[in-house]
């Protein structure tokens, strides 16, 4: 008989509705696995076992007529996301004991959908890096190879899902922070169009770059979480497109995008001289072949952005690092975060406004150049994997930041454009590690992107691929750990 974690999130919900499993049983199953493997893969900063048990009991006591598609299913919340009454460190020693008095809208919406959070997942400090290696928790390790990073800033969320510690998890993506960990850990990582998911109740919207999004094993699970998150909330600075009739889950299940014209490229947009690993190119080839097999047209195109936009991008990211912080806690920050804040403090208001204006010009040009294409296809990353400690090993935060740019020269541009973008686990390296490909749709056409991704999933198939830790029993060791 399959273990409960072998079931997808939607299959778990079906089992709860059928009386074959209870939410309480699922919570206990996952808590046991978290206790055994959570630190091994560095998935969690805080585990809320008692709270989860209470929520699961309430879920099981809820009348059948009041249960939604995900009722009673366990999940986890990124430690960058405000959660009332639960320690939320933002991945930083500067906030090691912070307990928010309020929930992020994303947390409230997932709770309203009936999901049960098992705790807070590891993130990079304030979400500034694409790896999750701080001082408030063990580093987020890739369950496929514990010597490698699970990525960031939603690294703990990806590690948890890939290791079978939760069926799906909430992440956030301001420059690839959902899609990068998804590619590294063999998952579906979805960044919705700007405005689809509320970023409230705090903050100014961060120029529209970040958004909440799901990390999941399947496109249908990701779509179901997106349905829970894509609820309009008053006062948001960006107006998102209306959800499709029947929701994104219905679109994913139908997997019928209609004929698509797809523009394919592999040129690294933010690092023109960066070589792209053959495994990443092969993943794009695999995705292109699947799209062609489905009857779509795939054409080679020029990359919509070039490396000349990098100075604009980095200026925005430096400015975004200027989060409120008491001066006496500045020394608690990691060197990379301090460097970004120092550079951000040197940016004048006039320069920032000029950069935003120039960047929008670049966005308009890129969108007009690719307007004829329903989807864009490119690598998620320039390299398939990176080992723990590689980005910061020189001790120079400037080198660290440049290595991140070269490793991930694709994802961030779609945060600036606001387009929906998804990393799909379409291939593996010669030694069996996951490699993702990136599909991106027109702004507001999340339904078409999800339908295309679901169709590709049906053709390629990947939900039954798991690392060794997936099959390990709680008393076993993994990779010697």
Q: Which residues are catalytic?
A: 78, 153, 177
Which H or E run contains 350? helix 349-369
Read off the tokens for 50.
Answer: 């008692």
For the four alpha carbons of 156, 159, 162 and 167, in that order, the dihedral sign comes to negative
What's the CA gap between 24 and 31, in Å, rounded?
A: 10
DSSP labels, 152-195: SSSHHHHHHHHTTSSSEEEEEESSSTTHHHHHHHT-EEEEPPTT
How many residues comprise the chain?
481
C-alpha separations of 370 from 1, 28, 210, 307, 439 in Å: 49, 49, 23, 17, 14
What does the block give as tokens for 219?
Answer: 């496109």
* CB atoms near residue 359 (< 10 Å): 18
The C-alpha atoms of residue 374 and residue 381 are separated, in whole angstroms, by 21
- Please, where are the H alpha helices in 95-142? 105-112
H helices of 204-334, in order, are 219-229, 247-254, 278-293, 310-320
Q: Long-range contacts made by residues 29-36, C-beta under 8 angstroms, separation at least 24? A: 29/3, 29/4, 29/5, 30/4, 30/5, 30/74, 30/118, 30/165, 30/166, 31/118, 32/474, 33/5, 33/163, 33/164, 33/165, 33/474, 34/118, 34/119, 34/160, 34/165, 35/474, 36/472, 36/474, 36/475
3-state secondary structure of 455: helix
Q: What is d(CA 169, CA 178) in angstroms, rounded to the nearest whole number?
A: 10
Q: State the pairing for strand pair 168-173/188-191.
A: unpaired
Structure tokens at 118: 């098992």
Torsion of CA 5, 10, 13, 15, to 10 degrees: -70
Q: For tokens 């806690």, what's the residue?
A: 329
Q: Of 417, 303, 309, whose CA–CA distance to 358 is shortest? A: 309
298 phi and psi angles, rounded to 5 deg: -115, 125
Phi, psi at 141, each rounded to 5°: -105, 150
Cα–Cα dist 437/189, whole Å? 11
Closest CA to 158 of 369, 442, 417, 385: 385
């Amino acid at each position: 008989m399959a273990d409960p974690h072998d079931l997808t999130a939607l299959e778990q919900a079906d089992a709860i509705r059928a009386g074959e499993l209870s939410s309480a049983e699922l919570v206990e199953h996952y808590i046991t696995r978290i206790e055994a493997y959570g630190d091994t893969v560095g998935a969690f900063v805080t585990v809320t076992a008692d709270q989860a048990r209470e929520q699961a009991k309430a879920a099981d006591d809820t009348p059948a007529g009041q249960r939604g598609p995900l009722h009673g299913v366990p999940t986890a919340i990124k430690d960058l996301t405000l959660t009332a009454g639960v320690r939320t460190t933002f991945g930083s020693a500067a906030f090691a004991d912070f307990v928010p008095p309020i929930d992020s809208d994303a947390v409230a919406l997932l709770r309203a959908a009936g999901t049960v959070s098992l705790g807070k997942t590891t993130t990079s400090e304030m979400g500034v890096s694409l790896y999750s290696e701080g001082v408030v928790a063990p580093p987020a390790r890739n369950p496929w190879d514990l010597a490698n990073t699970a990525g960031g800033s939603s690294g703990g969320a990806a590690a948890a899902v890939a290791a079978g510690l939760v069926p799906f998890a909430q992440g956030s993506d301001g420059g690839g922070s959902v899609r990068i960990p998804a590619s590294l850990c063999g998952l579906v990582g979805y960044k919705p169009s700007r405005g689809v998911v509320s970023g409230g109740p705090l903050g100014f919207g961060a120029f529209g770059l970040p958004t909440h999004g799901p990390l999941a094993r399947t496109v249908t699970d990701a779509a179901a979480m997106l349905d829970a998150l894509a609820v309009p909330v008053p006062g948001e600075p960006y107006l998102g497109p209306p959800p499709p009739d029947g929701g994104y889950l219905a679109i994913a299940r139908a997997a019928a995008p209609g004929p698509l014209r797809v523009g394919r490229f592999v040129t690294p947009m933010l690092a023109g001289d960066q070589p792209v690993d053959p495994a990443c190119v092969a993943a794009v080839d695999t995705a292109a072949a699947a799209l062609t097999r489905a009857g779509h047209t795939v054409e080679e195109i020029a990359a919509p952005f070039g490396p000349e936009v990098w100075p604009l991008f980095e200026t925005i990211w430096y400015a975004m690092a200027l989060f409120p912080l008491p001066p006496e806690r500045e020394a608690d920050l990691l060197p990379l975060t301090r460097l970004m804040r120092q550079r951000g403090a040197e940016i004048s208001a006039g320069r920032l406004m000029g950069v935003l204006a120039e960047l929008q010009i670049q966005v308009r040009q890129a969108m007009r150049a690719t307007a004829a294409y329903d989807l864009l296809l490119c690598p998620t990353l320039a390299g398939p994997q990176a080992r723990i400690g590689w980005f910061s090993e020189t001790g120079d935060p400037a080198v660290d930041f440049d290595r991140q740019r070269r490793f991930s020269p694709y994802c961030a541009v779609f945060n600036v454009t606001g387009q929906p973008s998804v990393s799909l686990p379409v291939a593996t390296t010669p030694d069996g590690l996951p490699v993702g490909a990136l599909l991106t749709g027109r702004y507001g056409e999340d339904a078409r992107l999800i339908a295309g991704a679901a169709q590709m999933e049906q053709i390629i198939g990947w939900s039954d691929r798991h690392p060794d830790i997936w099959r390990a029993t709680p008393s076993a060791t993994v990779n010697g750990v």
